[in-house]
């Protein structure tokens, strides 16, 4: 089974694209969503997080994201530590999920695939791009975030041009949803043609 990575900066439309692949019957693993779930369901992981960040990391079983964001913002070392705790859990969860799939290929949607240097773990990588102004507009209306907030989040991510250079497939998502779907269909067809 081929493992295809799907990534793109915030607001590029990668979740939208991921759902379009799902509609074509491709199983999609949403790495970020699963990571968030594991942080509140995996007891060994929760123990590690509490040991490093204190009981305050959780608030009545929910992740205290406000507190964690503050800690991580003031100390980049702690962000690395958190990632190093979460990553192996997600990886083993993904492998178990993968073993249950019956398809010629699957997709892992991963916002920070390049930032985390994971590109070599995939048979192919799809990068979704869109002009920065459009990404800001989309996130503003999706999350109700301010322009400055979205810009700060974009600043924290790797430049899309760098991702595009090493992508196997690029979806320039600057048109309507119909043309996005067309691009998804074409890539789906192409991936299937590479599978014996
Ligand atoms: P990401 O997962 O990359 O952050 P999303 O897929 O959540 O981005 O898309 C951001 C917002 O933009 C969502 O509200 C989505 O519905 C919208 N969107 C994405 N692509 C398009 C498009 N081609 N046309 C119109 N709206 C779009």
Chunked into runs of 10 residues, the chain (196 residues) has average pLDDT values of 97 98 98 97 97 95 93 88 95 98 98 92 98 97 95 93 96 98 98 95
The CA–CA distances, whole Å, from 157 to 12, 66, 107, 143, 180 equal 12, 20, 21, 18, 23
Residue written as token pair 């497939």 = 169
- Ligand 1 centroid from CA 139, angstroms: 8
pTM here is 0.95
d(CA 184, CA 170): 10
Q: Sort 155 into a burial class: Cβ within 10 Å, 0-12 / 13-18 / 19+.
A: exposed
Average pLDDT over the chain, rounded to an integer? 96
pLDDT at site 47? 97
pLDDT in the model for residue 156: 87
How long, in residues, is the chain? Answer: 196
Largest CA distance in the chain: 52
**Model pLDDT, residue 73:** 81
| 5 in contact with ligand 1, CB cutoff 6 A | no
* Ligand 1 lined by 32 (C-beta under 6 Å): no
Position 28 scores a pLDDT of 98
Atom of ligand 1 nearest to the CA of 179: 23
């Amino acid at each position: 089974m081929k493992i295809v990575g799907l990534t793109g900066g915030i607001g590029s439309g990668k979740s939208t694209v991921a759902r379009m692949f799902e509609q074509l019957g491709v199983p999609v693993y949403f790495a970020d969503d699963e990571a968030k779930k594991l942080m509140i369901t995996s007891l060994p992981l929760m123990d590690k997080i509490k040991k490093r960040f204190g009981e305050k990391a959780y608030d009545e079983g929910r992740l205290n994201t406000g507190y964690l964001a503050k800690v991580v913002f003031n100390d980049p070392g702690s962000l690395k530590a958190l990632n190093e705790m979460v990553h192996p859990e997600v990886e083993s969860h993904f492998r178990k999920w993968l073993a249950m799939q019956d398809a010629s290929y699957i997709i892992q949607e991963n916002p920070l695939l390049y930032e985390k240097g994971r590109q070599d773990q995939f048979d192919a990588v799809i990068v979704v791009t869109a002009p920065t102004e459009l990404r800001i507009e989309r996130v503003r209306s999706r999350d109700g975030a301010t322009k400055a907030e979205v810009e700060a989040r974009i600043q924290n991510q790797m430049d899309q041009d760098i991702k595009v250079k090493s992508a196997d497939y690029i979806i320039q998502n600057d048109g309507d949803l119909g043309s996005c779907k067309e691009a998804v269909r074409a890539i789906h067809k192409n991936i299937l043609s590479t599978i014996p």
